Structure 1
Amino acid sequence: MVIAGLVAAGVWTFIQRELDFREELETRPLPEGLHPVVGEKAEELADLAAEQGIRIEITDGFRSHEEQDQIYAQGRTTDGPVVTHARGGQSYHNYGLAIDYAIRTTEGRLIWDTGYDGNGNGKSDWFEVADIAKKLGFEWGGDWSGFKDYPHLQMTFGLSTSELNAGWRPEDTDRYEALSGENE
């Protein structure tokens, strides 16, 4: 009888904690900037690329839902080419978990040329940067099937944009600890 009571109390405590957590999720505000881990890894990416003779610039990071909707409209209801298939709330940029990059040439121009080999090692600088980024924990838009987003790098921490929109954050996942270096 005592064991059954302890089990019931444990189950009740677990359920109550879960309900409290779910309620907290509903009231969490949306992020308003680049996530600190993503920012640190972006800086590390720039440093590691520079060691290979490649200069990059982060051209985009956090975007509000409204900014995302404006970019989504490009090539659809406004002039310009289509550059995204994600509406506001459907991009990791909207949660501070994505960046875009470009290559800076030896002349100082920003380019989005995936064939450019500015360091002269016979390899595309763009793909060299993508490889470095993947080793740092980023997912690269150039690996996607279908629409390729070569400038795009993201850290999902195992979360979908639907989960992020529902209030989940990287700190709620085990993947966060692995990428942030916490608990080492």
Structure 2
Amino acid sequence: MFVASMLAVRTDELGRILPFVQKDAPPVTGLHPVVLAKSKELVEESAKIGIGILITDDFRSHADQDTLFEQGRTAKGPVVTHARGGESYHNYGLAIDFALKTKKGQVIWDMEYDGNRNGEPDWLEVVNIAKGLGFSWGGDWKGFKDYPHLQMDFDYSISELQRGYRP
């Protein structure tokens, strides 16, 4: 039994690195439980230092992702993503987007706003809390910067997720 379980684990690890190996996986329909718990913790920890945040997006279907991708291309509005359906960690329940909430309840995406008046931008304070919780930040990306984006990829690439591998 032990040998069989070890072989299954090794086979799974090997399959992840071979680009032609597919795995049957049920469709993702919501946030990964760890991402959900950590996003709630992010809201709570931010509130403790006087910063209100709102999770503006989390799990996104492939169809919703395609609609968002068309924005700024064939649909009105600015380009906000370079990922088509199936190419975003949102599609696998591993990403969230956030915005700040002012004391008056206004939702803003102002990276310089200092609502708790401690001399540091609230946005970056939230990002630092998120990183401490295990999220990576789209503002650290080398190419297209996605400042509201936080994700936990659990060391899975988009290619692996597309082929049915899940954390």
Q: What is the TM-score with the length of structure 2 in the denominator?
A: 0.88
Question: What are the superposed Cα offsets for residues 101-158 of structure 1, whole Å, 9 maximum, x if unpaired?
Answer: 0000011100000010000001000000000000100000011112110100000000
2:54 to 53, 57, 63: 57
For 1:166, the equivalent position in structure 2 comes to: 163
Q: Pairwise mapping of residues 148-159 of structure 1 onto structure 2 (< 5 A)?
A: 148-159=145-156
What pairs up with 1:2-41 in 2 under 5 angstroms? 14=7, 18=11, 26-41=23-38
**Corresponding position of 1:109:** 106
Look up the match of 1:90: 87
SS at structure 2 position matched to 1:26: coil
1:76 equivalent in alignment to 2:73: yes
Q: TM-score, normalised by structure 1?
A: 0.80
Q: How much does 1:26 deviate?
A: 2.6
CA distance in 2, matches of 1:141, 1:161: 15
The structure whose residues are more often helix, as a share, is 1
Aligned-residue offset at 1:29: 1.8
Q: Distance in 2 between matches of 1:33 and 1:14?
A: 30
* Other-structure match for 2:128: 131
Aligned to 1:3: none
Q: What is the identity, as a one-letter code, of the residue corresponding to 1:109? A: Q
Structure 1, gaps ≥5 residues long: 1-9, 171-184
Following the alignment from structure 1 to structure 2, what is the Cα–Cα distance between the partners of residues 118 and 18?
Answer: 51
What amino acid is aligned across from residue 52 of structure 1 in structure 2?
A: I
Asked which structure has the greater CA Rg, the reply is: 1
- Which stretches in structure 2 are left out of the alignment for 5+ residues? 16-21
Cα RMSD over matched residues? Answer: 2.1
In structure 2, distance between residues paired with 1:148 and 1:113: 15
Give the Cα separation in 2 of the matches to 1:14 and 1:112: 48
Counterpart in 2 of 1:47? 44
Q: Deviations over 1:30-67 (max 9, x none)?
A: 21001110000001001110011000010000000000
Q: Distance in 1 between matches of 2:84 and 2:166?
A: 19
Q: Which 4+ residue blocks in structure 1 deviate beyond 2 angstroms?
A: none
Structure 2 counterpart of 1:174: none
Q: Secondary structure at the match of 2:146?
A: coil
Could you give the per-residue CA deviations for residues 56-89 of structure 1, whole angstroms, max 9, x where no partner exists?
Answer: 0100000000000000000001000000011111
Code of the residue aligned with 2:121 in structure 1: it is S
Q: Say which structure, 1 or 2, has more relative contact order (CA 8 Å, 6+ apart).
A: 2
Task: Give me the identity figure in percent.
Answer: 60
Q: What residue identity is the alignment partner of 1:50?
A: A
